[in-house]
Amino acid sequence: MTVPEFVPYPDRYVPDAPAETVIGQFHDVLRRRRSVREFSDAPVSRAVIEGLVRVAGSAPSGANKQPWRFVAVGDPELKRAIRVAAEREERAFYEQRANAEWLADLAPLGTDPDKGFLEVAPWLIVAFMLLRDDDGGQVYYAKESIGLACGMLLAAAQFAGLATLTHTPSPMGFLRELLGRPEHERPFLLIPVGWPADACRVPAAALARKSLAQLLVYDRPSGRDA
């Protein structure tokens, strides 16, 4: 086995304030993100979409295989076709597929099969997970990897004041067909991107977050850290 080349960590980011401070600032931006279903139709530039996808593409991935592709849909007719197909699946979900517990969990969010936002938002970014890389090689931890990439994309959008939604019409196979993607690409997440509508409202129930006591468990009491 040849020894791989290592280089000094290039261009390492060092913040100019203590970690507690910058994390607090980051949290203050991200905690104000809401999943939005009422978008403005105001345009978002390609430069913005490209920036978001560059951020996503900077995510870590299994063996650095980067098992993702992002398709940005801005064409009104294609958005309409996606809406029609998504609403067909969503109607089946709400009327037949979802069990009572799932429907009860969704009730506070006020969601329904009408997905008008798929036409209103200026862009739909469809994240595809690669089941094989483009030259047929294996990929690893693809779900984890693309999940991280999408999380980073959502964070970048929030940082820019843009609204996003993580929409998962189920099943999503129609996206591969409508967008003409090859067999080794599987739709993972449909992310409408735009500015929130001026009169945008969000469900009050979605504001609640688990407390730190619910989120975090330490291995030992404080005072014993190195």
Question: Which chain residues interact with ligand IYR by CB under 6 A?
Answer: 90, 93, 106, 109, 111, 167-170
Q: In what order do the strands lie in the sheet with 123-130?
A: 68-73, 123-130, 185-194, 163-164
Nearer to ligand IYR, 48 or 98 (CB): 98
**What gap in Å lies between CA 214 and CA 208, rounded to an integer?**
13
| Inter-residue contact 145 to 62 (CB < 8 Å) | yes
Between 90 and 185, CB nearer to ligand IYR: 90
Q: Rg of the Cα trace of the chain?
A: 20
Nearer CB in complex with ligand IYR: 111/158: 111
* Least distance CB 111 / ligand IYR (angstroms): 4
Residue nearest to ligand IYR as judged by C-beta position: 111
**Which residue, 69 or 167, is less far from ligand IYR as judged by CB?**
167
Tell the smallest beta-carbon distance from residue 63 to ligand IYR (Å): 30
Q: How far is the CB of 114 from ligand IYR (least distance, A)?
A: 9
CB of 170 to ligand IYR, least distance (A): 6
Alpha-carbon 138 to chain mean position: 24
* Residue ranges with strand state E in 134-197: 163-164, 185-194
- Write the Ramachandran bin of 41: left for phi over 0, alpha for psi from -120 to 50, otherwise beta: alpha
